[in-house]
A = this chain, B = another copy of it.
């Protein structure tokens, strides 16, 4: 077994090219084995094993700088750079993170989790190398879908002018998370079909030299191509065609489902933990498709993450022309949605909390200053969303909660979520964001409001002394706190479902002042700049004390959600302990 002897890239360089091919097979098996237990980015990693071996065979990291875009394809890179144990020994599976991580290894240059930044980062490194008079290679490894992000173009445009050596390795697996989109994708397919020869080549149009590698799973071909560009004095693109999911038949066939795999049975390809049939994605996609069939003005806009609201392939087909995926291009998605709203359509955009960060400006400018009625669904907005620092769903309240004219809503159950969504689609006055509950599906038999044009909190239990404003996903934590207060202190606290993240319901808050000494806020997001901060500001001249519960900004690289909640005092017990001290 070659894998056992690989502790650094130099060990790889001792192998013959034939041995490298055998090593690739061993790595493939190890990845499948580990991911069958832990889950992970299976398909993307299986597709780049040979490419990664080629990179470390030809270049001399960490002197040479290799930057992996998104970095959800770095498992093989981690294996080759001293971290194979975390892939080979089950007891060590959890010792590394799933993305590029400088705290883990000097071979990982940046913490990367969002797409399309690698070429920019590489430009900065190449430019500094030149100023210092050094000579190392700087290589950005980027997927075809990441090229759709505007920043990748910005960097190519800059690099083309930089007059310096820069290597862009395009890992073209013809897929995004779902199918890839955009005309560039079609052009890459033309290049695939024509052995790299077409008129009006995008990369050449941007001043890059261009090299085509038809078989990205042939280590000799890859090594040959990379040796050609090693030490280049010019910007060059090496276009490598790979197959997503390569070598695991289920992933090869269903690349979307296997982009990120839950633990599975290797021989049957069955996932071991099932997504419950009832989940908010399934509910909202059914709701939307039903509504879209009756109203052709509704258009669902995605940016490569339609699954976040349950738009699987079959549902996308059912939606027909009323579904649009712009690729990994959130800025464009937001402005397209704004254009749709202005033209009298009813756009619904959805993506993960963390990816809204890419489009703050477009949201704030034409959408919100222009008061265009776009609906945005914010998913994974919770400590339970993605448990790592680059994807933490904990910043969206501070980000979106301080934008003029935006109505940001936080439903707590199915009926409320759908009522808010329905209201938002039908009204024409406000841009609206909805923080999708990130819990199991709760139902309510209480009547839910059908109109959210006025900021109005909902008092669900009336009490005294203590008021608990429990926002969105943390409403149920609030319920527990109120119950504990009753049990431990015999206090009937007031429980409030604020529903509105933006705006202040002054009437309800002023009412609280009369019979409450303490108000606590609970939010599934950072405390700094969050929902609670507005409540603290409101009470800062009044005789009511306030505690804002939520998360500190210091999000670990990789965390266990329940543990992070404990560290931030977010358990009913810890909260009630603190409350007891104060009442």
Mark contacts of A334-351 with chain B using CB atoms, 8 A cut-off: 1 yes-contact digit, 0 otherwise: 111111111111010000
Which of A109, A120, A157 is packed against the most chain B CB atoms within 10 Å?
A157
A324 interface neighbour in B114, B127, B206, Cβ under 8 Å? B127
- With contact pairs A158-B329, A338-B110, A540-B545 given, residues A398 and B390 touching in the complex (Cβ less than 8 Å): no
List CB contacts (< 8 Å) of A146-163 with chain B: 148-161
Q: Is the CB of A362 within 8 A of B399?
A: no
Interface residues of A in 364-383 (CB under 8 A from B): 364-366, 369-370, 372
Question: A283 an interface residue at 8 Å Cβ cutoff?
Answer: no
B370, A102: Cβ atoms closer than 8 Å: yes
Complexed CA–CA distance, A299 and B149 (Å): 26
Q: Write out the residue numbers on chain B whose beta carbons fall within 8 Å of the beta carbon of A148.
A: 154, 157
Cβ distance A376 to chain B, nearest Cβ, rounded Å: 14
Q: Is the CB of A344 within 8 A of B128?
A: yes
Q: How far is the CA of A156 from the CA of B329 in the complex (A)?
A: 11
Give the distance in Å from the alpha carbon of A545 to the alpha carbon of B181 in the complex.
55
Is A429 an interface position by the 8 A CB rule?
Answer: no
- The yes or no answer to A494 lying at the interface (CB within 8 A) is no
In-complex Cβ contact of A150 among B112, B149, B347 (8 A): B149
The interface residues of chain A, by DSSP majority, are classed as: helix
B537 adjacent to A366 (CB under 8 Å): no
Cβ of A336: which chain B residues have Cβ within 8 Å of it? 120-121, 123-124, 127, 155, 158
Residues in B whose Cβ lies below 8 Å from that of A360:
357, 360-361, 399
Residues in B with CB closer than 8 Å to A344 are 128, 132
- B296, B342, B403, B533: the one within 8 Å of A537 (CB): B533
Q: Interface-forming stretch among A22-30, A52-60, A84-92, A196-204?
A: A196-204
* Proximity string of chain A (85-113) to chain B, C-beta cutoff 8 Å, 1 when within and 0 when not: 00000000000000000100000011111
* In the complex, per-residue mask of A377-418: 1 if CB is within 8 Å of any chain B CB, else 0: 000000000000110000100110111100000000000000
Among A224-232, A257-265, A524-532, the one that faces the other chain is A524-532
Q: Is A459 an interface residue (CB 8 A)?
A: no
Taking the nearest CB of chain B, how far is it from the CB of A579, in angstroms? 11
Stretch at the interface among A72-80, A247-255, A442-450, A548-556: A548-556
C-alpha spacing A183/B162, complex, angstroms: 8
CB pair A342 B125 closer than 8 Å: yes
Cβ of B366 and Cβ of A117 under 8 Å apart? Answer: yes
A335 and B111 alpha carbons, distance in the complex (Å): 12
B-side contacts of A126, CB under 8 Å: 339
Task: Check if A339 sits within 8 Å of B402, measured CB to CB.
Answer: no
Considering the chains assembled together, what is the distance between the CA atoms of A186 and B208 in angstroms? 13
Chain B residue numbers with a CB within 8 Å of A112 are 365-366
The docked-state distance in angstroms from the alpha carbon of A204 to that of B297 is: 32
> Would you call A36 an interface residue if the criterion is a C-beta within 8 Å of the partner chain's C-beta atoms?
no
The tally of residues in A whose CB lies under 8 Å from a CB in B reads: 116
Q: Is the CB of B157 within 8 A of A124?
A: no
Residues 184-220 of A contacting B (Cβ, < 8 Å):
184-187, 199-202, 204-207
A152 and B150 form a contact (CB under 8 A): yes
Q: Does B201 contact A182, Cβ atoms closer than 8 Å?
A: no
- Bound form: Cα–Cα A182–B180 in Å: 27
Question: Once the chains bind, are B181 and A158 in contact (CB under 8 Å)?
Answer: yes
Q: Does A288 contact B (CB under 8 A)?
A: no
Report the minimum CB–CB distance from A490 to chain B (whole Å): 23
Contact B151 A335 (CB under 8 A): yes
Does residue A492 face the partner (Cβ distance < 8 Å to B)? no
Please report the C-alpha to C-alpha distance between residue A357 and residue B130 in the assembled complex, in whole angstroms. 30
Query: Could you tell me the distance in whole angstroms from the C-beta of A402 to the nearest C-beta in chain B?
Result: 4
Is the Cβ of B533 less than 8 Å from the Cβ of A541? no
Partner of A321, one of B131, B161, B358: B131
- In Å, the complex CA distance between A43 and B458 comes to 55
The verdict on A539 contacting chain B, using a C-beta distance below 8 Å, is: yes
A114 pairs with B207, CB closer than 8 A: no
CB of A1 within 8 Å of the partner chain? no
Counting CB contacts under 8 A, is A455 at the interface? no
Q: What residue of chain B has the Cβ atom nearest to residue A185's Cβ?
A: B161
- What chain B residues lie within 8 Å of A206 (beta carbons)? 183-184, 187, 202
Contact B540 A540 (CB under 8 A): yes
| Interface status of A534 (Cβ within 8 A of chain B) | yes
CB closest residue in chain B, given A337:
B124
Chain B nearest CB, measured from A105 CB (Å): 14
Q: Is the CB of A335 within 8 A of B184?
A: no
- Check A332–B537 contact: CB distance below 8 A: no
- Counting CB contacts under 8 A, is A536 at the interface? yes
What residue in chain B is nearest A235 (Cβ atoms)?
B183
Complex contacts, A201 vs chain B, CB 8 Å? 200, 205
Beyond A130-B321, A401-B529, A533-B536, 16 extra complex contacts between A and B, CB < 8 Å: A114-B361, A117-B331, A120-B338, A121-B342, A125-B343, A132-B343, A151-B329, A154-B332, A157-B184, A158-B332, A159-B183, A205-B205, A357-B360, A401-B528, A402-B528, A537-B548
4 closest residue pairs by CB, A with B: A124-B339, A150-B150, A160-B183, A120-B335
Name 18 A/B residue pairs within 8 A (Cβ), A-sorted.
A111-B366, A117-B335, A117-B362, A120-B331, A124-B337, A127-B299, A127-B336, A157-B184, A157-B329, A157-B332, A160-B186, A161-B183, A161-B185, A184-B206, A200-B205, A401-B529, A402-B526, A536-B536
